[in-house]
Amino acid sequence: MSRVQPKMPSMSYSWWVKRPNYIRYMARELTCVWIGAYAIALVIGLFRLQQGADEWQAWLAAMASTPGLVFQVLALVFALYHTISWFHLAPSTMPVWRGDQQVPPIIIEVVHYLVWIGISIVVFWLAGG
């Protein structure tokens, strides 16, 4: 498979600060840094869990340290932003058709929020139960 490498037009590295739209786009895309970092933290947690009680306790202590808590709060903020932006785009990325009529975007978005609330209740119930 050969790929043509077109000549790229020059573009400043800060193109995305020029419009609020672009800044929101960049904020949305960069949520992935926090999603990825938190997923890696969970991988390490499961690795430590499998090793034993002391190792699990050490992972908990790291998460409970000041840097750990700051990381967790930031990750939560960006994860919520990811959730909101993901649901907002869902009607465009996964349009639903009923016959030849498109289901209104707001309904798709609201259904996402309802499912999210349901899943969150299950997670809280599992954690508390």
Partner 1 sequence: MAASNKPIIWLPFAAGGTVAAFVMPSIMVVVLLATAGYLSGGVLDFERIHGFVAHPFIRACLFFLVGLPLWHAAHRLRMTVQDLGARSATARRILAYGCYLSAGVATLLLAYSLMHGW
Interface with partner 1 (CB under 8 A): 1, 5, 8, 11, 13, 16, 26, 29-30, 32-33, 35-40, 42-44, 46-47, 49-51, 53, 56-57, 60, 63-64, 68-69, 72-73, 75-76, 79-80, 82-83, 86-87, 93, 112, 115-116, 119-120, 123-124, 126-128
Give yes or no for a contact between 86 and 80, defined as CB atoms under 8 angstroms apart.
Answer: no
Closer CB to partner 1, 76 or 103, in the complex: 76
For 58-79, b/e burial (b = at least 16 CB within 10 A) is: ebeeeeeeeeeeebeeebeebe
Q: How far is the CB of 21 from partner 1 (least distance, A)?
A: 14
Q: Minimum distance between the CB of residue 31 and partner 1, rounded to whole angstroms?
A: 8
The string of DSSP codes covering 76-113 is HHHHHHHHHHHHHHHHHHS--EETTEEPPHHHHHHHHH
Min dist CB 99 to partner 1, Å, is 25
Least Cβ distance, residue 100 to partner 1 (angstroms): 25
Phi, psi for residue 127 in degrees, rounded to 5? -70, -35
Please say which residue, 11 or 106, places its beta carbon nearer to partner 1: 11
The span from the CA of 75 to the CA of 42, in Å, is 12
- Which lies closer to partner 1 via its Cβ, residue 10 or residue 101? 10
C-beta closer to partner 1: residue 103 or 117:
117
Distance of alpha carbon 84 from alpha carbon 110, whole angstroms = 11
